[in-house]
Amino acid sequence: MQVLRMIVGPFQANSYLAFDENSKRAFVIDPGSEGKEIAKIIRERSLILDYILLTHGHVDHIGGVDAIKQEFPEAIIIAHPDDEDLLKDSALNMSKMTLGEEISVIADKQVVDGDIIPFDGKEIKVIHTPGHSKGGVCYQIGDVIFTGDTLFRDSIGRSDFYGGDYKTLIDSIVEKIMVFPDEYIVYPGHMESSTIGREKKTNMFVKSYFR
């Protein structure tokens, strides 16, 4: 599986296009902006888009969803039910305040902790990681984890937005993400990629749990 990182929008959020070069099956993670450009890349590579996977409902992670869905109506939008209010409410997802737009997204399918999403003969595991938002999730496939705004390289997501809670966020990271092998790759919602092992050693917010 190949993973293409795209830095999109005014908040410099990471959107990821993951695909198999042979089967051409693909999914996109958090198209936060520039949906038409992302759709163009998908078409240029002749990919078949199966899913639009959302880690949470903030504007910088959902702003490009509609444009992609218009181009690929068969793609299934997936999110956790606890972020349904963020997805639908432009005040809560901060699109109205930050962009002056009322962005609203409706998930085609809701998933919860432990759900398995089939993809090209593989499995995408849903990991509910509340703390940045109530319905924040990470997606794990093989040795890759897409962590959204739960875990960053050397940092963590904010917990002062609607539905956020610092202790809950730390518990999510320590109990649900750091349990994976050290070599697993972390693809976060902002900034560069990392590994589980690196974050155990260098992330000031969680490294004390792994001494």
CATH 3.60.15.10 fits 2-210, yes or no: yes
Q: What is the mean pLDDT of each run of 10 residues along the chain (211 residues)?
A: 96 97 98 96 98 98 97 98 96 89 95 99 99 98 99 97 96 98 98 98 93 74
Q: Which residues in 17-55 are b (16+ Cβ under 10 Å) and which e? A: bbbbeeeebbbbbbbbbbbebbbeebeeeebbbbbbbbb
Please provide the size of the chain in residues: 211
Closest listed residue to residue 44, CA positions, set 53, 34, 36: 36
pLDDT the model gives residue 111: 99
Residues 6+ apart with CB under 8 A from 160: none
Predicted local confidence at residue 210, as pLDDT: 87
Structure confidence at residue 138 (pLDDT)? 99
